[in-house]
Amino acid sequence: MQASSELIFALSGVVVGIILGVFGYRLLSKNHRESNLMQQKLLESERQVEELKARMGTHLLDTHEHIDTLRASAHQLEQQLAQEARYWQLDDDKLQRLSLNSDANRSSSKSDILNATENTLETGVPRDYADGKSGTLSEDFGLKEREQAPQPPRY
């Protein structure tokens, strides 16, 4: 009887183990499926981001090309205006003023940029620290002590 009871315990242990294994597999497979779904969604999102980046790059290149064509057409219009002014024999002063204004606008933007960088180099980069041992600004740095107004006499 003792051998059969040991056999019954062993068989019941195996059955219980199989049942626990099936339940564990079902629980883990759900989590595994969910993680696979999340990973697929993540990959899809990354693909969409890469696609958007590619589209943005082409958009920026197209915009740059449009700007270049606008500049070229503006330059062509300026030349055409100058030719027509010469054809109609407009005053040389007005013609020179027209050409000087267009040249000055082009060169002024370049010179403004150069002057701004030179001014920055001359004045130096602003510091966010103080001279001294600690190297930090105190709380009352730059604040002037206010003189106390004289108190009126009390009687």
In a domain, 130, yes or no: no
How many domains are there within the chain? 1
In a domain, 147, yes or no: no
In a domain, 58, yes or no: yes
Q: What is the pLDDT of residue 138?
A: 62
In a domain, 13, yes or no: yes
Is the pTM above the cut of 0.85?
no
Q: What is the pLDDT of residue 99?
A: 65
Reading the block at residue 95, the tokens are: 């013609």
In a domain, 42, yes or no: yes
Tens of pLDDT, residue by residue over 107-125, are 555 566 666 656 655 555 5
The per-residue pLDDT of the chain, averaged, comes to: 77
What's the average model confidence in pLDDT over 136-149?
63
Reading the block at residue 84, the tokens are: 């027509």
Tens of pLDDT, residue by residue over 12-27, are 999 999 999 988 887 7
In a domain, 45, yes or no: yes
- Which residue has better confidence, 127 or 48? 48
Tens of pLDDT, residue by residue over 66-101, are 999 999 999 999 888 888 888 887 766 666 666 666
Domain range holding 30?
7-114
Q: How many CB atoms lie within 10 A of CB 98?
A: 15
Q: What is the pLDDT of residue 41?
A: 95
Concatenated DSSP letters for 85-124? HHHTT--HHHHHHHHHHHHHHHHHHHHHHHHHHHHHHHH-
In a domain, 80, yes or no: yes
